């Protein structure tokens, strides 16, 4: 587990590289789709945190809402917009819909929302270690789920950002935001798009120093900490800004955060 290619982001704690053994588990082949998430909402009446808060984070090129619905621009990441009314049903805000996106990943889903879905479905979120094992597809030490070839070698292998981030996306891979969950080629374990497309929530709390003391068998993350782990990168990853579309790459966010490039997949209890 951990970075083997030297592409690590120091602050993310991708090292030291260390052996981990896991009990048998079964993981979804894809991230949870809008269609599946809608079934959960219809069955339970659940309201996501984005719906409760009244806004969520949308990449500036994906905003469909009027200017009056822009609630803020983070100074450190000015390509994001806080958009009133953006949520899993309306990923770009007013004027957008998932009506034709049933096979795309559900986004604007917080960690807490993902856990609520899992409880309804009789599933759970993967641990970070389970996620990385599954993403690797049995290729030990590889940079990507398919090996070490780059994403665009011999045709696109994942949904990331092309062009000049964050102003111009040439969409060479065919997608400007999310792609259907069964796009490109699955890895050797049958997982579709563990890297790229959308970030995926994991069960663990985040600590950049956790690998220094994590147990060798079935690690479940640190006991404390406010943030939760995200894995896999997204359609906004670009080598000039975010190279986290790799097996070992890690990120984090608070459990009530939602954004247009994050979803989740689940594991059997």
Render each residue's pLDDT in the chain as its tens digit; 269 residues. 999 999 999 899 999 999 999 999 999 999 999 999 999 999 999 999 999 999 999 999 999 999 999 999 999 999 999 999 999 999 999 999 999 999 999 999 999 999 999 999 999 999 999 999 999 999 999 999 999 999 999 999 999 999 999 999 999 999 999 999 999 999 999 999 999 999 999 999 999 999 999 999 999 999 999 999 999 999 999 989 899 999 999 999 999 999 999 999 999 99
Question: What pLDDT does 113 receive?
Answer: 99
Helices in the chain by DSSP H: which ranges? 34-44, 49-53, 111-121, 128-136
> Quick check: is 82 in a domain?
no
Q: What is the pLDDT of residue 261?
A: 98
This prediction's pTM: 0.98
Q: Where is 267: in which H helix or E strand?
A: strand 267-268
Does the residue 77 lie in any domain? no
For residue 172, the model assigns a pLDDT of 96
Cα–Cα distance between 111 and 227 in angstroms, integer? 10
The answer to whether position 66 is within a domain reads no
Q: How many domains are there within the chain?
A: 1
How much is the CA Rg of the chain, to the nearest whole Å?
17
Q: What is the pLDDT of residue 209?
A: 97
Phi, then psi, of 170 in degrees rounded to 5? -80, -10
Domain encompassing residue 167: 1-52+104-269
SS3 category, 4? coil
Asked whether residue 217 is assigned to any structural domain, the reply reads yes
| Residue 251 resides in a domain | yes
Q: Find the CATH number of the domain harbouring 254.
A: 3.90.1580.10
Give a yes or no: residue 248 inside a domain. yes
* Residue pair 71/80 in contact by the 8 Å Cβ criterion: no
Q: Is 223 contained in some domain? A: yes
Task: Quote the CA–CA distance of 83 and 192 in Å, as a whole number.
Answer: 30
Q: For 137, left (φ over 0), alpha (ψ -120 to 50), or beta?
A: left
Please report the pLDDT score of residue 27 as a whole number. 98
pLDDT at 117: 99
Give the up-direction half-sphere exposure of residue 57: CA atoms within 13 A in the CB hemisphere: 15
Is 2 inside any structural domain? Answer: yes
């Amino acid at each position: 587990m951990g970075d083997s290619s030297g592409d690590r982001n120091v602050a993310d704690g991708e090292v030291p590289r260390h052996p981990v053994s896991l009990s048998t588990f079964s993981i979804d082949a894809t991230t949870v789709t809008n269609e599946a998430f809608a079934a959960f909402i219809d069955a339970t009446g659940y309201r996501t945190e984005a719906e409760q808060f009244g806004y969520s984070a949308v990449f500036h090129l994906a905003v469909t809402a009027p200017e009056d619905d822009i609630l803020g621009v983070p100074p450190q990441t000015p390509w994001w917009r806080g958009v009133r009314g953006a949520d899993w049903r309306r990923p770009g805000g007013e004027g957008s819909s998932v009506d034709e996106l049933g096979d795309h990943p559900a986004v604007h889903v917080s960690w807490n929302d993902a856990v609520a879905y899992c409880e309804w479905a009789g599933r759970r979120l993967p641990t970070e270690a389970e996620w990385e094992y599954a993403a690797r597809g049995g290729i030990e030490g590889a940079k990507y789920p398919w090996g070490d070839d780059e994403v665009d070698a011999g045709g696109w292998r994942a949904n990331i950002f092309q062009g000049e981030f964050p102003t111009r996306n040439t969409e060479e891979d065919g997608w400007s935001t999310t792609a259907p969950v069964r796009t490109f080629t699955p890895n050797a374990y049958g997982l579709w798009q563990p890297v790229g497309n959308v970030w995926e929530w994991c069960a663990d709390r985040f600590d950049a120093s956790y690998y220094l003391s994590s147990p060798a068998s079935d690690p479940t993350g640190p006991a404390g900490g406010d943030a939760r782990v995200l894995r896999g990168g997204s359609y906004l990853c670009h080598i000039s800004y975010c190279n986290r579309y790799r097996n070992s790459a890690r990120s984090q966010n608070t459990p009530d955060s939602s954004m247009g490039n994050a979803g989740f997949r689940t594991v059997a209890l």
